Amino acid sequence: MKKNIKRMIAYYKPYKGTFFADIFFALVCSGIALVIPLVVRYITSNIAQIKEENNIGLIFAIGAVLIALVAVQFGARFFISYVGHVMGAGMEYDMRAEIFAHYQKLSFSFYDEQKVGQLMSRITSDLFEISELLHHGPENLVIASIKLIGAFVILSQISGYLTVAAFVLVPFMCIYAIFMNKRMRRAFRWNREKIAEINARIEDNLAGIRVVKSFGNEMIENDKFKEGNDGFLRAKKNSYKYMGLFHSGMTSFTILINVVVIMTGGALLVNDVVTVPDFIAFLLYINVFTEPIQTLIEFTEQFQNGYTGFERFIEILDTAPDITDAPDAEELTNVRGRIAFEDVSFRYSEAAHRVLRHINLNVEAGAYVALVGSSGGGKTTLCSLIPRFYDVTGGRITIDGKDIREVTLKSLRRNIGIVQQDVYLFAGTVYENISYGNPSATREEIIEAAKLANAHDFIQELPKGYDTDIGQRGIKLSGGQKQRLSIARVFLKNPPILIFDEATSALDNESENIVKESLEKLAKNRTTFVIAHRLSTIRNAQRIIVLTENGIEESGTHDELMAKNGAYAALYKWNG
């Protein structure tokens, strides 16, 4: 915990000036709160003399000073509320930028195990709670500490007996607070986990809402959501139980302190040990004394919320990317596209079975290679190893003789273009989505890429042409149109190595023919891997690799493999 607190404090560094100003104004507010009961004590102690001298002017002078103090307090409070909150928002901004940048570094293996809704929860609601703690926490502690210490000093000067009476219950209050704090912390962490689960369920449902409606399974989704919502309610009830015990216990202690002071003060008044003005001042200071206790109560709850959020925040930051650049990694330049798999094996985790076993494959620069085989044979996995979406667990892959683990990830992936079956388009315009392939490209280059992908004509027919908004994930476009935009994106990137992952399998015949023409144009003079679902589409491939769980079963041209009458011929007869 100590280490985490240090890491949390580090986020104040860019805002040191604002932070210390915030603390200063918190001190000002605390000081003013301590002055007012002293003024009341002075007036009540000297009321007889003031009345005798008819010194009404003194009363007005004191009033003027008090009004001035209120004005100062207004300014201090405004600074704390406005500038302090802006400081908190700034720190939230920094943390959000940091965790988002870290999300970009994490590899596919991390996202294979995560739910988007839970990751969203860590970057939204968790960070809000952290920023509230970072802003309000220190000032609340300062205000509470100054008021407690100041009240103790002043109270001890007024009456030692009453001071002992006021503080006699404080140790018991602290023990109770510590005891309940531990339980609150566990409860709030459970809360956060349940909130993240609900976010994941909502994200999953909304992303697949068309599937839900097409199957008429709204009630099933409601039932699944209810299960998560019930879990959230249980977690909330648990946290509110401990929070209620904490609040009610601390409030009871505060009232008991007042009761003990009133009883003790009454006895001391009867025996002339304290005066009425001192007793009145003491009662006023008891309120000053109990108010910071309430502040500490709120801080405790706030700390539990913020700290559990921070734990979840650093849990992500401490997740190291498992695929990174080697310390001496070089730029991959002047790529011709000769790729070699040398005794390559791969499994997704230590516990998982091996997907690829001792693969040896040489692909010459500019070659057009098709990968075929039954589902689960490792075709997509094999291609995912080339851009290092995953790292091999045995052997190595080279491009132009260079081990891909010895070149920078950015330069490696810059030289590889991927067209997938499940096209992902971002919310925005056609222009923005094509330009994703090369953000520095001119409009003319983007239009040329669209023409090469056979997309220009249908784009022109859209309401605003290239500036048409295509909706979330390109929902306003057909499957073939989305695929052609993804191909235009790769044309604009202009990489020497291509991977087509069943890029036409989900299209109708007309769309498939258009997209196939675009893909053939794109593949010209580039090293190309095609993962084929419909074997009739890869008959002209220079080389066809039949991949099974045992590795590379067969390799050759369509005619050679058909003549063998082996695994490929069986597959072709089945679905060719």
Range 389-412 average pLDDT: 92
Within a domain: 147: yes
* 158 lies in the same domain as 123: yes
Residues 216-252: b if buried by 16+ CB within 10 A, e if exposed: eeeeebeeeeeebeeebeebbebbeebbeebbebbee
- Domain for residue 12, yes or no? no
Range of the domain at 390: 339-575
Of 284, 317, 350, the position where a domain reaches its end is: 317
Q: What is the dihedral of CA 84, 90, 96, 97, to 10 degrees?
A: -170
Is 361 in the same domain as 411? yes
Give per-residue pLDDT as tens, 105-149. 888 888 877 777 778 878 877 888 888 888 888 888 888 888 778
Average pLDDT over residues 86-108: 88
Asked if residue 192 belongs to a domain, the reply is yes
Q: What angle, 0 to 180 degrees and rounded to 10, lies between the N-to-C axes of helices 125-158 and 160-167?
A: 150
Residues 296, 408: one domain?
A: no
pLDDT at 151 over 60: yes
- For 321-338, what is the mean pLDDT? 90
Looking at the fold, whether 349 and 495 belong to one and the same domain comes out as yes
- For residue 127, being part of any structural domain is answered with yes
Determine, yes or no, domain membership for 220. Answer: yes
Is 56 inside a domain boundary?
A: no
Average pLDDT, the chain: 83
Whether residues 362 and 407 share a domain: the answer is yes
Do 400 and 284 have their domain in common? no
Average pLDDT on 392-402 reads 93
Residue 538: pLDDT band by 50, 70, 90 thresholds? confident
- Here the CATH number for the domain that contains residue 424 is 3.40.50.300
- Taking CA atoms, 31 is separated from 19, 39, 63, 148, in Å, by 18, 13, 17, 11
Report, as an integer, the average pLDDT of 339-353.
82
Kindly state the average pLDDT of the residues 427-434. Answer: 88
pLDDT at site 49:
67
CA gap 177, 250 in Å, rounded: 8
Asked if residue 453 and residue 422 are part of one domain, the reply reads yes
pLDDT higher than threshold 60 for residue 506: no
Do 422 and 283 lie in one domain? The reply is no
Indicate the pairing of strand 497-501 with strand 527-531: parallel
Q: Please tell me whether residues 407 and 308 are part of one structural domain.
A: no
Report yes or no: 439 and 520 within 8 Å, Cβ to Cβ.
Answer: no
Q: What is the pLDDT of residue 496?
A: 92
**pLDDT at 83 exceeding the cut of 80:** yes
- 137 and 280 in a single domain? The answer is yes
Reported as a single tens digit per residue, the pLDDT across 40-73 is: 667 766 666 666 666 677 777 878 888 888 899 8
Q: What is the pLDDT of residues 10-47, one digit of tens each?
A: 888 999 999 999 889 988 888 887 777 777 667 766 66
Domain total of the chain: 2
Q: Looking at the structure, tell me whether residues 375 and 469 fall in a common domain.
A: yes
Q: Are residues 390 and 279 in the same domain?
A: no
pLDDT > 70 in the chain, percent: 92
Domain membership of residue 328 (yes or no) is no
